[in-house]
Structure 1
Amino acid sequence: MHQIVTVRIFLLLLYGGFVCSKEECIKTAVTSCDDCIKSGPGCAWCTDLNFIKPGELEAVRCDTKEELIKKHCPEVNIMSPPSKKRVITDNQLSAKGTIVQLQPQEINVELRPGEAHTFQMKFKRAEGYPVDLYYLMDLSYSMEDDLKNVKNLGIEILNKLNGITGNARIGFGSFVDKTLLPFTDTSPEKLKKPCPPKEQECQPPFGYRHVLKLTNNAVQFEDMVSLQKISGNLDTPEGGLDAIMQAATCVDKIGWGNSTRLLVLATDAGFHMAGDGKLAGILEPNQESCQLDASNLYASSSTWDYPSVGQIARKLEEQNIQPIFAVTEDVADVYRELSKLIPKSDVGVLSKDSGNVVNLIVSAYNKLSSNIIVNHDVLPEDISVTFTSNCVGGDKPSDKGTCNNVNIGQEVIFDVTVKAATCIKGQKSFNIGPLGFNEKMKVNVNTLCDCKCDEAVTGSHVHCNNHGKVVCGICSCETNFLGQRCECSLGQKDETSLKAQCRKDNGTECEGRGDCECGVCKCHLTEGGNSYYGTHCECDDEHCEKYQNMLCGGNGQCRCGTCRCSDGFEGTACQCKTMTDSCETGETLCHGRGKCRCNQCDCERGYKPPKCEFCPTCIPPCQKHGSCIECLGFGTGPFEKNCSKSCSHLIAQTVDKLIKSDCQVKNHMGCRMFFTMTEQDGFDKYYVKILKDVECPEGPNVAAIVGGSLAGVALIGLLLLMIIKGIFYVKDLKEWRKFEKEMQRSKWANSDNPLFKKATTTVANPAFTGDS
């Protein structure tokens, strides 16, 4: 036990240290100390007169305590009222005289909005705590044998309970079903006697009848039960929920006392619930109130619908009644499911004639009494409560505190954590305590939303230019004076520069939501009756995103147009619970390649939903990581000297054989390296398997290359010459044939040229003799 407590203290200290390290102050409309501490538990206010510089806003005084100290605000001038408690009633635990099992009995808690405060509650089971047992029996015809046995069990039940507690009482009630079709045969003869003809003793059908008030007289119990007669109805399900509701709401008639309250429902059939009444034309829902007439019959059975399971669970919890469903084997599974919806309930299987009902009740009582479940009643608005305990498995905060197998005389401790989301008006109260016990702790809650500063004085102060008084370090100016130090008087002649201070980015004065008075925006009220706020009245808390027609989904607060979500919620409209199960990918979320928002992966760098596993647009990694493969697998390449640093994103393994090679990359020598890459969570992280062997190309055959090259050149030259020769031959042949054709076509005429004249002068050479 000491080890558990030590571990819990360590965790609390660790958690507290974490919270402090993350503490922040989110300021909204801060113009005073009261506004500051309402902004959140991390906010503190500096009351030092000279803390801010001229022209700075008073909101600078509001920040975390650490930041204010850094800004040289003396710690004695820092206003940050802590949450605290004060015990009102603290009677010691006692098992004698007036039994006290719960301590303390009443407590006052003052809470900073948004700050959780934890206090302890002790519980100790007392020996001899009274027990009230109300036996509620199904009297439909199939329970005939069971009724005969129950008639003789009163003394035995009381003796068993008295043997445990020494102070027990027992009562009796019965039920069948609504006396309307289709639940009951409404023919006149069946309304008088719904049993088979052979059955002599049979009473008319009824909804629920209270028979015997809680008493410690076992003989009276047996006498009253012995007078009961079997009855009957048409359909299999019975009106058990109707009977439970009346037994829980008719507190005075049943006689419930300050005790452990047990309600035993004995039946061999299922049950009708809300909505089934429409089959008989009943449209009015169950009103959750006592409706027993003078003869102790359920008067509204034919006008009110059956109650819902939720109504039954709420009413039983409200009255600290623990139901025990004593049912036959064929319907046991139905009631086990019902028991899951009703805290502090149990299911026992009856024998065919209910002969084991006494042992069943004793076993269920011991089980229910030893399992302590602490819960709260209806909480005031904006207040939440969680529990932890010093029991094994109870160290995690939950809306219910549990301790199982708690023995009589054993003391258990519950840590109760109360938190107020916002300021509440006046004192609010609620009760907490273990289910099934009447003892409750009353918790009175007030919120700390007002600064109680000691320096507030009446009259003027020199710091305020004698036109105002100092309250929490700031000036509260007299009428007609404004400004940080009341230096500005309304009606000044030079108002142009002052009005300019009220315009954001030379826009509308105070955004059209306020009046500029002496250079300061006095904001108007919104349509919802709240005030605009901000330096230029630019903010309001009524125009945030809605979800399911509720501002911030009802799971957060609107601050200057942005939703600030409550713990456990996220999203722009606080519409999502902070769950990550749909984003989980092994030990990471979204494979480390995105953010889990609203339980869906918001992927980055081109990766695609649902879990950021694939990136269709990403560059294949083989060529990108070639240099790293060379240095990691072979110790060569451009990263040879700083391989471990440059290639830290790869986890490499060299192997003798690869079943399948996904990548082939050449190294700096031109040899092919073969490897596979398996992407790891995150960006650019891979697990690489590199084949030890590389594939290098063979050297060139110079002689063959040269010889082949020369032969190829000669062959090409010869071919070119032959082609050119052929072209010239074809061309000449074509010209010759053309010439021959032209010669064949030509014709020559035999005529004299009219221009030609023969010689008319003959000259003889006198020296010519004729000799050659």
Structure 2
Amino acid sequence: MNFDSIKPQHSPVNRQVREEVWSLSETLVRDLRGEALTFIALIFEMYQRVAVLLQILLLLRRGAHSEKEECLKTIVNSCADCIRSGPFCMWCKQPNFTKTGEPDATRCDTWSLLAEKGCLESNIISPKSHHIPVEDRPLSKATPSQQPVQLRPQEVKLALRPGLPYTFQFNFKRAEDYPVDLYYLMDLSYSMKDDLLKVKRLGRDLWTALGKTTSRARIGFGAFVDKTVLPFTDTNQKKLKKPCPEEEQYCQPPFGYRHVLNLTDKYDLFNEMVASQHISGNLDPPEGSLDAIMQAAVCGDKIGWGNSTRLLVLTTDAGFHMAGDGKLGSILLPNDCECHLDENLMYSKSNKLDYPSVGQVARKLAENNIQPIFAVTSNMEQIYRKLKEIIPKSEVGVLSDDSSNVVTLIENAYKSLSSNVIVTHEALPQHVTVTYTSNCANGHQPSPQGTCDNVGLDKEVEFNVTVTAKQCIDETSFLIGALGFTEKMKVSLTTQCNCECDEPKNASHPGCNGHGQIVCGMCSCNAGYLGQRCECHVGDKDESHLRAACQKDNGTECSGLGECVCGVCQCHTSEDGKTIYGKYCECDDKSCEVHHNKLCGGHGKCDCGTCKCDQGYQGSACQCEKSTKSCTPTNASQVCYGRGDCLCNMCQCKEGYKPPFCKECPGCPSPCAAAASCIECLGFQTGPLSKNCSESCSHIQHKMVDKLMKRHTSKKHCKERDVENCWMVFTMEEQDGFNSYMAEIQTERECPEPPNVARIIGGAFMGVALVGIIILAIIKAIIYMRDRKEYKKFLKEQQKSRWKNANPLFSAATTTVQNPFFSGE
């Protein structure tokens, strides 16, 4: 679109038509800009509400979790590691607290669990959060010699336990006669011509209005139009010199932003400098307001902002360009939020840097404690009210057509701003959160900012500041203060992540076998010694012997669940949270029977695979309450007749005894044979136990009877021989308990008649003789049979020696040799 063709000051021939077209275009652009800004504001509002909702849910979740204190340990080798593991992790420094082989990580747990394991309260270490006021001057009014004190304390030191919120108090009171700096920032586009004429006579009125609140007021002045590039400004050389209509006598070239007057307490100088200003012009309705606000905020040394309440009054009848609009003029570099005023106090990077975003402007205003007052025309009111929702500590007022009400507008806006106290923080470190509550009607709920409305002069308000460090961090600091006031409280922050155990230094503590000192309950061994109790001296044994000491039955070293350190197993903590312990790391605290999905039924502790039940509970899984009602027969003196245990109100019998009361033992051997020696010594004072009968047979009570009665069902009828080969007749009745009997012994034994010696001797002699004769007969028969056999053999050989013919094997000699010396004799 060719803006030159529709700007009202061109070609008077079609002036009326062009004015109507321009008016229509201006209205359309304003509507579109207004809708866009409204849409952005709605999105931001939705974002804020979602953020608040998420924060509330997070607080509720934290509250739910806080009901159950847990210590989620990871790797814990020292007290410091324990404290860093979580806000509810505590350390037991009690010596000998751990079991054999149990890792020192067992010392780290919640207070209740450590106390349950036997750690005394005085031995439980848990650093507490606290704060120390470093500077705490009382609140005071301003005096000619010093500035007022509006907040206390002025500096504190916090020492926080990570993960636990800590709250301290912060007080604020508005002081009377507090200095006020007001910087008047005016739109000098052509549509503000009438307003400029009014502002040129504004100095005295502004001074009078501010004087109602403070005697130390200063005012300054700045002006803006827009970037001097298309499509924001006509770049025709003639128009760059005079963008106003031809009939306008006084018109200055367009510019982005110019600082005109430093903050001063001379209102006549204000009138003089403002009177020298002239109107200017540009093409499109939105102006470079945000560019001007940014430079006025960040160029504090050139503007002259002091230690005061800082007000920035923006007067305009148009909307504003914001981040991204600069691309229309080929300006691609984003705004850097830095001061760029040249020697002539002109914004030198106006045509090089894009407009700032609303968020950037809001942040810089807050950082520099500047409270903006948007004095705008009625058609722009809604747009700037949406902007007010994004920028905290800001106000919007509606200007009259010629800005005649601007003083009243500023006065009312200042009263509203100064009575609205918003406490927030600056330079907050990572992993630290801060929330506020107050004693005001609208400040009971924790929020990222503390708010109090309608706070009058000399009215003290109290804020509760809750600080949480999410993890251990190095020493750092941040600032807390009320928006719009330069006074800040410095908060120095450290985290409590180490332990101070305060044990006496002893180089030969007996708990460390005299070779180390106790540090937070653990042994710190002297040079050359190792082990959990400094029990190993390096070089005493070779490695194979030390490793063998960590193996149970030549099995896996430390059961594969620990590390062999100098012949002693140092057990690990398993990934599923089990506590491993034992000489060979063979035990843990989770491998016990489960009842109703609870370890040891929830009524006991797991100790190396066995449930140790709480008082009043019993069972392998502590699943039932103690009771012996169904385990005690009416005629028994002991539970389960003393031959079993009453578990879960039922007899658990031993050694073959039968329930329900363990009275009978069908599979047990008869007591008769085992009791024979005792019966003999008790009833007849004979036998192998007669010398110590009372001691050896104390488990049998007895009584002598003349004649045993008929068999009783509960009695065992016995008949055993004694050393005299007599039959002892007695009964055995088992009493309550194991191996306890009542015996009834028959007085008369059944002994056999004595033997006939003569018959025995005679019979023996006849037997021997008969046996001898039989043996001789047998020997005679054997000899006779052998002789017959030899004789038959002889006869047979004799027959073989008689040959019927010549011997076929014989051959006659073929040569005869005669000995010449043989005489034949």
Q: 1:415 to 1:521 in 2, by over 3 A?
A: farther
1:142 and 2:188 aligned: no
Alpha-carbon distance between aligned partners in 1 of 2:181 and 2:162, rounded to the nearest angstrom: 42
- Asked if 1:373 is matched to 2:394, the reply is no
Q: 1:347-402: per-residue Cα shift (whole Å, max 9, x none)?
A: 11111111110000001000010000000012111111000000013111110000
Deviation at 1:498, TM superposition (A): 7.0
Q: Structure 1 residues 68, 291: closer, same or farther in 2, change over 3 A?
A: same
Q: 2:347 aligns with which of 298, 303, 314?
A: 298
Task: Work out which of the residue numbers 89, 94, 103 in structure 2 matches 1:57.
Answer: 103
Selected match of 1:462 from 495, 502, 510: 510
Q: For 1:180-224, what per-residue CA distance to the aligned partner results, in whole angstroms no more than 9, with x for missing partners?
A: 111110000000000011111000000000000001111000010
Inter-partner Cα distance in structure 2 for 1:144 and 1:256: 28
Q: Judging changes above 3 Å, is the alpha-carbon distance between structure 1 residues 349 and 55 closer, same or farther for their aligned structure 2 residues?
A: same
Distance 1:520 1:336 in 2: 75
Q: Is the contact between residue 551 and residue 558 of structure 2 (CA under 8 Å) also seen in structure 1?
A: no
**In 1, Cα distance between the equivalents of 2:265 and 2:279?**
25
Deviation of the 1:46 alpha carbon: 1.2
**1:350–1:534 Cα change, 3 Å:** farther
* Counterpart residue identity of residue 61, structure 1: R
Contact 1:170 1:214 in 2 (8 A): yes
Distance 2:569 2:420 in 1: 61
Mapping for residues 437-586 of structure 1, pairs under 5 Å: 437-455=485-503, 457=505, 459-479=507-527, 481-488=529-536, 492-494=543-545, 496=547, 517-518=565-566, 535=573
Q: For residue 485 of structure 1, give the secondary structure of its aligned residue in structure 2.
A: coil
Any residues of structure 2 matched to 1:745-756 within 5 Å, and which? none
TM, length-normalised to structure 1: 0.63
Matched letter for residue 524 of structure 2? S
Which residue in the other structure is 1:71 paired with?
Answer: 117
Indicate which of 174, 180, 183 corresponds to 2:223.
Answer: 174
Report how far residue 42 of structure 1 moved: 1.5
**Scaled by the length of structure 2, what TM-score is found?**
0.59
- Counterpart check, 1:343 vs 2:392: yes
Mapped to 2, the partners of 1:165 and 1:321 lie a distance apart of 17
**Counterpart for residue 120 of structure 1:** 169
Structure 2 counterpart of 1:248? 297
Letter in 2 for 1:492: E
Q: Determine if contact 2:96/2:511 at 8 Å carries over to the other structure.
A: no
Contact 1:101–1:439 under 8 Å retained in 2 = yes
Letter in 1 for 2:544: K
Q: Which amino acid aligns with 1:374?
A: V
Kindly tell me: are residues 362 and 239 of structure 1, through their superposed partners in 2, closer, same or farther at Cα, counting changes over 3 Å? same
Question: Is residue 29–residue 534 contact of structure 1 (8 Å, CA) maintained in 2?
Answer: no
* Aligned counterpart in structure 1 of residue 310 of structure 2, from 261, 264, 267: 261
8 A contact 2:423–2:451 mirrored in 1: yes
Go from structure 1 to structure 2 and tell me whether the alpha carbon gap of 1:492 and 1:91 turns closer, same or farther (over 3 Å shift).
Answer: same
Describe the shift of the 1:337–1:460 C-alpha distance in structure 2 as closer, same or farther (beyond 3 A): same
How far does the alpha carbon of each residue in 1:683-740 deviate from its partner, in whole angstroms, 9 at most, with x for none?
xxxxxxxxxxxxxxxxxxxxxxxxxxxxxxxxxxxxxxxxxxxxxxxxxxxxxxxxxx
Paired residues of 2:220 and 2:261 also in contact (CA < 8 A): yes
Q: 1:45 is matched with which residue?
A: 91
Q: Distance in 1 between matches of 2:449 and 2:63?
A: 26
Q: Residue deviations 1:4-32, cap 9 Å, x none?
A: xxxxxxxxxxx999987533322221221
Structure 1 pair 140/473, CA: closer, same or farther in 2 (3 Å)?
same
Q: 1:212-223 residue pairs with structure 2 within 5 A?
A: 212-223=261-272
- Secondary structure in structure 2 of the residue aligned to 1:144: helix
Offset from partner CA, 1:468-506 (integer Å, 9 cap, x none): 2210011123455433212245653235457779xx999
Shift in CA distance, 498/317, structure 1 to aligned 2, threshold 3 Å: farther
Structure-2 change in CA distance of 1:310 and 1:519 (3 Å): farther
Residues 40, 112 of structure 1: 8 Å contact kept: no
Deviations 1:37-73 (A, max 9, x none): 1122212211110222222221221122232223222
Taking the aligned partners of 1:108 and 1:456, their CA distance within structure 2 comes to 29
Match of 1:318 in 2: 367
**Structure 1 residue identity aligned to 2:218:** R
Paired residues in the alignment total 510
| Distance in 1 separating the partners of 2:469 and 2:190 | 55
Residue correspondence of structure 1 range 324-339 to structure 2 within 5 A: 324-339=373-388
| Deviation at residue 329 of structure 1 after TM alignment | 1.0
Distance 2:136 2:63 in 1: 31
Determine if contact 2:137/2:153 at 8 Å carries over to the other structure: yes
Cα separation, 2, equivalents of 1:154 and 1:311: 31
- Could you tell me how far apart the structure 1 residues matched to 2:445 and 2:232 are? 47
Distance 2:313 2:468 in 1: 38
For 1:32, give the aligned amino acid. Answer: S
Aligned-partner Cα distance in 2 for 1:271–1:505 = 78
Based on CA coordinates, which of the two structures has the bigger radius of gyration? 2
CA–CA separation in structure 1 for the residues paired with 2:565 and 2:431: 36
Shift in alpha-carbon separation, 1:298–1:495, aligned structure 2, 3 A: same
Q: Is 1:33 matched up with 2:79?
A: yes
The 2-side partners of 1:60 and 1:290 are apart by 59
Q: Amino acid of the residue matched to residue 115 of structure 2?
A: I
Look up the match of 1:237: 286
1:230–1:35 Cα change, 3 Å: same
- Whether 1:90 aligns to 2:136 is yes
8 Å Cα contact 1:456-1:471 kept in structure 2: no
In structure 1, distance between residues paired with 2:344 and 2:568: 75
One-letter code aligned to 2:530: L
Q: How does 1:177-216 map to 2 (within 5 A)?
A: 177-216=226-265
Q: Distance in 2 between matches of 1:198 and 1:507?
A: 102
User: Structure 1 pair 124/505, CA: closer, same or farther in 2 (3 Å)?
Assistant: farther
Which residue is equivalent to 1:585? Answer: none
Could you say if the C-alpha distance between residues 510 and 184 of structure 1 is closer, same or farther in structure 2, counting changes exceeding 3 Å?
A: farther
- Please tell me the residue identity of whatever aligns with 1:22: K
1:109 maps to amino acid: L
Task: Report the 3-state secondary structure (helix = DSSP H, G, I; strand = E; otherwise coil) of the residue aligned with 1:95.
Answer: coil
CA distance in 2, matches of 1:59, 1:171: 66
Is the 1:40–1:115 contact (alpha carbons within 8 Å) kept by the matching residues of 2? no
- Confirm whether residue 280 of structure 1 aligns to residue 329 of structure 2: yes
Q: What is the match of residue 476 of structure 2? A: 428
Whole-Å separation in 2 of the counterparts to 1:155 and 1:403 = 33
Unaligned runs of 5+ in 1: 1-14, 523-532, 540-772
CA contact (8 A) 1:286 1:307 kept: yes
C-alpha spacing 1:466/1:304, structure 2 compared with 1 (3 Å): same
Q: Give SS of 1:67's match.
A: helix
1:58-100: per-residue Cα shift (whole Å, max 9, x none)? 1221122232223222222111121011000001000132300
Q: Which residue of 2 aligns with 1:701?
A: none
2:410 aligns to what SS in structure 1? helix
SS at match of 2:222: strand
Distance in structure 2 (CA, Å) of the matches to 1:20 and 1:186: 66
**Structure 2, unpaired ranges of 5+:** 1-60, 578-825
Q: In 2 relative to 1, CA 171–117 (structure 1 residues): closer, same or farther, beyond 3 Å?
A: same
Query: Sequence identity, in percent?
Result: 58
Letter in 2 for 1:442: K
List per-residue Cα deviations over 1:267-320 (Å, max 9, x = no partner): 011111111111111111111111111111001111111111111011000000
User: What is the identity, as a one-letter code, of the residue corresponding to 1:440?
Assistant: K
The match for 1:584 is none
